A and B are shown apart, each in its own frame.
Chain A
Amino acid sequence: MANGPKTGNSRVVKYNKWGYIFLIPFVLVYLVFQMIPLITTIYNSFFENYMSGLKQIGPNFIGLENYKEIVSNGDLINYTRNTLIMWVLGFVPQIFFSLLLGAWFSDQRLRVRCAGFFKTVIYLPNLIMAASFAMLFFTLFADSGPINTTLINWGVFSEPYKFLEHAAGSRGLVAFMNFLMWFGNTTILLMAGMMGIDGSLFEAAQVDGATSTQVFFRITLPLLRPILLYVMITSLIGGLQMFDVPQVLTNGKGNPARMSMTLIMYLNNHLYSKNFGMAGALSVFLFIITGILSLLVYRFSVRDNNADEVKKRSRNKA
């Protein structure tokens, strides 16, 4: 912003101090409620500080012991793996159906009727309280719940399938709920991106005799890359924060045998049991993982493409 003194006008300078004044509420609240907590969190990660029964242990400074502990007991790796598995299981169908629906909605030849209705419906689950949605699925998929009863009546199963006692069952349910809650949102984002593509490209392709499939893979997909990237990064970061659904579905236990326990559920457990040292170390790890992953995905997708440039340009346009 070194734009030099355009006019050197003292009135302009007088106005510009208001920039600082208007920033005061945000900066103040940010410092108090986010910056200080972040520093305290990092600070706490270097201390032994937990409850042993009713007795408080610590806080004693122990350097990096919490970090060593959290890595060596295998929990961090396990819960990271769980979280990522459930994210991928939900994300793959999500991106698949979103691309498909986006392509159909923005296809001029197909002219999907009632597109407004369909968009309204598929976005609906996104606004539902995740805790309630998980509770609903818990009751519906319970051992004696409606789904099991129906499947037995139809003769699909001879006895109830205990969803929460199988890794595939509980992870599958979590992933399925995440898919339902997010594919509408992703569809709308991708569609807006598809609408932004220059229509003359499609016309030219049609004239050249390209099929819809060719148009999709040769034109739509490459041009959509910046938005796909954006969707993927935000979904990944959202996925690492996965909490409400598995927490309520499994009552915070991550059934079966903690195989659907996510990183944030693990953090939540430490916070409840007042194991602040471990909670601190875990938070710092999460902070780093979030940072690295978003950077990695970004780098990886940008590498052989000028997606970055496209994104910048589209941003300037906006």
Chain B
Amino acid sequence: MRQDKEYNVEGGLGLTVRRVIAYTVLILLTFLCLFWFYILFVNASRAHSDLARGFTLVPGSYLIKNWKAVMGGTQPIVKGMVNSFIVAACASVLSVYFSTMTAYAIHVYDFKAKKAIFTFILAVMMIPTQVTALGFIKLVQGIKLENSFIPLVIPAIAAPATFYYMKQYMESALPHAIVEAARIDGANEVRTFNTISMPMMKPAIAVQLIFTFVFNWNNYFTPALILHDDKKKTLPILIAQLRSADFLKFDMGQVYVTIAFSIFPVIVVYLCLSRFIVGGVALGSVKG
């Protein structure tokens, strides 16, 4: 502590001043991040007539009424949420399982094409999916899978970014000796992968499950090109429709509840898992 003071005298701003600046900026940014969601909550709980009159920071008492009105309304929001959940859950499970398998193939085995395949996957990691969207639509139309979840779920199996994360994690968490030991104990390769290696990858698997789930839950571009049937639409498509409908005709309280409906579940889940998620961001990307 004594040393701290000694250095502070020498140059730049004193430690106290720097602390004050740091906390001020941090609190401002915190405000900037949370403010919008607070207004969303407040507005979702107010009546349409009330909203038109102006803006307060105090929540109203219309939350339940607005909610019921949305449930009884024309927008299939609950159906959309179920659809989003099905797509996101299936895509994330497939993506993580098969990316781990692909990473395992590159990590554990030695074969001729290994280096070429690894380099190839890294090279295509940067290609945005939008670039191939045209061909993708044509393909989906060709095999008559429009309005189906299959073209949103199956392609998740080939996810270069998830693969890369898993590969990086394996380098530090899955020693070859473990695989050798399993072989000596008589386990076959598939069994070794499923019952020995997968459990050892748990932390990375959890992180990637969350990220791919959130990515698919929020994804708008591809589902909007594939799903045209109202019964099949996912949440982001319905939100975008809300925007394109004539805005002024809507009850604003209901509009806010609908938006809240798509945002708050993610916030609640995030707050429960935040430590884990924030740790996971750094874990993957710096190594990458």
A interface residues (Cβ-Cβ under 8 A, vs B):
1, 3, 12, 15-23, 25-27, 29-30, 32-34, 36-41, 44, 97, 100-101, 104, 109-110, 112, 116, 118-125, 127-140, 142, 144, 146, 149-150, 153, 180, 183-185, 188-189, 191-193, 196, 206, 209-214, 227, 230, 237, 240-241, 243-244, 247-248, 251-252, 264, 267-268, 271, 276, 279-280, 283, 286-287, 290-291, 294, 315, 318
Contacts and interface: CB of A to CB of B under 8 A. Distances in A.
Contacts of A140: 36, 39
A112 B236 CA distance: 37
Nearest to A268: B221
17 contacts: A30-B158, A32-B139, A37-B132, A40-B138, A41-B132, A110-B18, A129-B220, A130-B220, A135-B240, A140-B39, A146-B54, A189-B286, A241-B128, A243-B220, A251-B244, A267-B133, A271-B225
B158 A248 contact: no
Contacts of B259: 132, 135-136, 139
Nearest to B10: A209
B131 A139 contact: no
Contacts of B288: 230
Contacts of A267: 130, 133
Contacts of A209: 7, 10-11
A14 to B, nearest CB: 10
Contacts of B198: none
Interface in B218-234: 218, 220-221, 225
A290 B127 contact: yes
Contacts of A36: 135, 139
A189 B11 CA distance: 29
B247 to A, nearest CB: 8
Contacts of A33: 136, 139, 151, 154-155, 158
Interface in B233-288: 235-236, 239-240, 242-244, 247, 252, 255-256, 259, 262-263, 266-267, 270-271, 274-275, 277-278, 281-282, 285-288
Interface in B64-91: none
Interface of B: 4, 7, 10-13, 15, 18-19, 22-23, 25-26, 29-30, 32-34, 36, 39-40, 43, 52, 54-55, 98-99, 101-102, 104-106, 108-115, 117, 124, 126-139, 151, 154-155, 157-158, 163, 168, 171-172, 183, 189, 193, 214, 217-218, 220-221, 225, 235-236, 239-240, 242-244, 247, 252, 255-256, 259, 262-263, 266-267, 270-271, 274-275, 277-278, 281-282, 285-288
Nearest to A283: B131
A122 B139 contact: no
Contacts of A185: 281
A1 B266 contact: no
Contacts of B128: 237, 240-241, 286, 290
B135 A189 contact: no
Nearest to A212: B12
Contacts of B242: 135
A142 B247 CA distance: 10
A36 B98 CA distance: 20
Contacts of A39: 135
B57 to A, nearest CB: 10
B125 to A, nearest CB: 10
Contacts of A279: 134
B161 to A, nearest CB: 10
Contact of B111 (A17, A100, A137, A280): A17
Nearest to B7: A206
A271 B133 contact: yes
B134 A19 contact: no
Contact of A127 (B99, B183, B270): B270
Contact of B105 (A18, A29, A121, A241): A18
A189 B281 contact: yes
Given A132-B236, A136-B40, A318-B171, A26 B155 contact: no
A252 B244 contact: yes
Nearest to B287: A318
Contacts of B22: 104, 110, 112
A21 B15 CA distance: 60
A241 B130 contact: yes
Nearest to B43: A146
